[in-house]
A and B are shown apart, each in its own frame.
Chain A
Amino acid sequence: MTVVLASVVLPVVLAVGIALAGNRGIRVAQVLAVAGPGGALAAGMSLLASERASSAVAWRSAWLSQGGASLPLGFAGDALAAVMLVIVGVVAACVVVFSWGYMAHESGRPRYFAVLMLFVAAMSALVLADNLVTLFIGWELVGACSYLLIGFWYRKPEATRAAIKAFMTTRVGDVAMLLGMAVLWRAAQTLSLDGIVAALPKMPQATVTAAALLLFVGAAGKSAQFPLHIWLPDAMEGPTPVSALIHAATMVASGVFLVARAWPVFEASGVARATMLAVGVLTALYAALVALAQTDIKKMLAYSTISQLGFMFAALGAGAWGAAMFHLATHAAFKALLFLAAGSVIHGSGTQDMDEMGGLARAMPVTAAAWTAGALALSGWWPFAGFFSKDAVIAAVAAASPGASWILVFTSAVTALYVWSATFRVFLGASRSDHAAHESGRSMLAPLAVLALLSAVAGWAGPAFTERLGAPEEHAALATIAAAVAAVAAGTALAYALYRRAPERGASLPGGLQSAARSGFGVDAAVHALVVRPAVAFAQWVARVADEKVVDRAVEGSAALTGRVGGMLARLQTGEADVYASLVAVGFVLLTAVVVWMGGR
């Protein structure tokens, strides 16, 4: 069982090794780096293959013992963790291999691969945690790795700004999550997940709802749900393989994983589930509309990710965490594929702006084929993975709230519209740039092939998947499936009508709507005006009043006082032995006086 811990330990060792090897050893180190995701994949596979014990403890310890209480630390493997380990392992391995080619011309590769390995270790720790403390440690570590990789090109001001924005925004969610943990600690006297579940029946309803809502805010921050989604589009400043791994497939999905992991808490609170459903549906529709208006291929994919995460949260809100996890798994495959294909396109064409691409299918046929597989999966065409998982989500939501399911069906149509518009604009028509595009190298195409295969066939694993997880299974109603398929077909057809003939036409929305949607309907600006600007103003006030007038004066005053006292004391240092002797005697007299006065010995 402890062999599972290799998925945590091995990447850490690799991270340190890569960092130490530096630039000189990077050509060897980047090959060895595949072993890190490989360890996670092997651990996940061995967990899946092992007997169907619900949860097996790998390692457990206590931390910061204070009186009768201590913080638990520990790892345990179960089916949920195994699934996540497999996802992390596969996607991370593909990303590492892809990065050999994509990052070949970059300096700072040791930093890149070391942080990537650290991310794999942190993600493994997150999914294997058997208590909220260990989970939170992994949670923060993946956040830190995300921060480091968004800011990989730290000389670019946009990159550092995006990194800080991502860190600060997720911090809002993390504070809420900490509060939720505090609520649970107070009510259950433990943070171990088993202990919390055992204590749930005795908790008052209000406590459970508060804890569930707070944990959900934490999950929403990490998974970029409205209105905490604003960091994810900016996070695209990082290298594209990183976007594929962290900001599409794994880390942003850890919010969904958290809810699934702590599912009994959410199951016990109807208010929290209703909130999740509402936020998920709203986010899905909103992000899909914004994605329509994007011209930057990575930003389009980022909004698409937000939208798909909204689908997952809607499924969670409807009570179908199995469907949410299934969509998480298939989404990891096809969104990583789309991101890596986009990376290949960017690598080959030298631009991220879709307005400057076009006709790339001739120059990059393999990339175009891979992208098409990803687009088919994302839009939900049979028999690709997205069809099964998205329909499972829509069916689950339909069982809980028919109105919400119709919004999701409409969102499916929008999804098909934006992804196919992008496909036609990028790969068909005439080239709109004077840059001669070229196909990427073999190390970049191989991961695309693997992920394309997974996107094509993973959907068939659905029933086995939910059964292995032990989640309640939803049976999709025929009417819902039909509606969803019709919506996808409509969206695709509209995209074809708009762009097949004229791939060079720009926006797909009418003028005013286009610019509004492109800026995310002003959410970013609103957050800036309502939160950031007051916070900055307050910080400036603090700096002006509290810092300069109070802290600075205290510091400078104490420094001046020390200097003056020192000057006075220096005059005692005459160098004459008898002065020193009298000082010794005076000290003795004072000390003895104290002792005698206290009456002790």
Chain B
Amino acid sequence: MIALGLSCAVFALGLYGVLSRRDLIGVLVSVELMLGAGGILLAAAGAASGATSGAVQSIALMVLLLAAAEAAVGLSLLLALHRRSGRTRVDELSEVSG
């Protein structure tokens, strides 16, 4: 129950960061927080349900891989964007507006 509370709180913080940060790196950092919250919840649920350690760890590892890949791609996009326009702020990037 403690782990659940912790994970939900961290997820909420991460979401708040995603919504309030105006800077792409800040948003990325917040997304990492949300992913970490998911990891905690996964580990806690695995421990609570009595699943084998191997199963839990391998699934969490997959999440870790995804997060790493996401961070790498996100950062490279950030760099490319910076080279192109010098802007890395979310509120300046509204080109997908309909």
Contacts and interface: CB of A to CB of B under 8 A. Distances in A.
A582 interface: yes
Interface stretch (B36-44, B63-71, B89-97): B89-97
Contact of B19 (A573, A574, A575, A578): A578
Given A581-B18, A581-B19, A575 B96 contact: yes
A578 B94 CA distance: 10
A576 B20 CA distance: 12
Interface in B75-98: 90-91, 93-98
Contacts of A582: 19
Contacts of A570: 98
A576 B98 contact: no
Given A578-B19, A585-B15, A573 B98 contact: yes
B18 A575 contact: no
A319 to B, nearest CB: 79
Given A573-B97, A575-B97, A578-B20, 4 more contacts: A570-B98, A573-B98, A574-B97, A577-B90
Interface string B48-82: 00000000000000000000000000000000000
A542 to B, nearest CB: 43
Interface of A: 570, 573-578, 581-582, 585
Contacts of B95: 575
Contacts of B94: 574-576
A574 B91 CA distance: 10
Interface in B9-30: 15, 18-20, 27
A572 to B, nearest CB: 10
Nearest to A577: B90
B98 A578 contact: no
A577 B93 CA distance: 8
A95 to B, nearest CB: 64
A578 B18 CA distance: 7
Interface residues of B, number: 13
A76 B18 CA distance: 76
16 contacts: A570-B98, A573-B97, A574-B97, A575-B94, A575-B97, A576-B91, A576-B94, A577-B90, A578-B18, A578-B19, A578-B20, A581-B15, A581-B18, A581-B19, A582-B19, A585-B19
A171 to B, nearest CB: 52
A570 B98 CA distance: 8
Contacts of A574: 94, 97
Contacts of A585: 15, 19
Contacts of B93: 577
A576 B90 contact: yes
B35 to A, nearest CB: 15
A587 to B, nearest CB: 13
A585 B12 CA distance: 10
Contacts of B18: 578, 581
A582 B20 CA distance: 10
A575 B90 CA distance: 10
Contacts of A575: 94-98
A206 B98 CA distance: 71
Contacts of A581: 15, 18-19
A183 B90 CA distance: 74
A218 B21 CA distance: 79
A574 B95 CA distance: 9
Contacts of B20: 578
A575 B91 CA distance: 9
Which residue, A573, A574, A578, A585, has most C-beta atoms of chain B within 10 A? A578
Which residue, A570, A577, A582, has most C-beta atoms of chain B within 10 A? A577
B22 to A, nearest CB: 9
A33 to B, nearest CB: 59
A573 B96 CA distance: 9
B90 A578 contact: yes
A577 B95 CA distance: 10
A454 to B, nearest CB: 77
Contacts of B97: 573-576
Contacts of A576: 90-91, 94, 97
Nearest to A580: B96
A480 B94 CA distance: 101
Nearest to B15: A585
A573 B98 CA distance: 6
A596 to B, nearest CB: 13
B64 to A, nearest CB: 23
A513 to B, nearest CB: 80
Contacts of B96: 575, 577
A322 to B, nearest CB: 78
Contacts of A573: 97-98
Nearest to B20: A578
Contacts of B19: 578, 581-582, 585
B23 to A, nearest CB: 11
Contacts of B90: 576-578
- For the complex of A and B, the 3 pairs showing the least CB-CB separation, nearest first, are A575-B97, A575-B94, A573-B98
A382 B20 CA distance: 107
A317 to B, nearest CB: 75
A74 B27 CA distance: 71
A544 B19 CA distance: 56
A62 to B, nearest CB: 53
A577 B98 CA distance: 12
A79 to B, nearest CB: 74
A145 B94 CA distance: 62
A584 to B, nearest CB: 10
B18 to A, nearest CB: 6
Nearest to B92: A576
Contacts of A578: 18-20, 27, 90-91
Nearest to A575: B97
A580 B94 CA distance: 11
A335 B49 CA distance: 91
A45 B35 CA distance: 83
Nearest to B96: A575
B82 to A, nearest CB: 17
A577 B19 CA distance: 9
Contacts of B15: 581, 585
A578 B22 CA distance: 9
Nearest to B98: A573
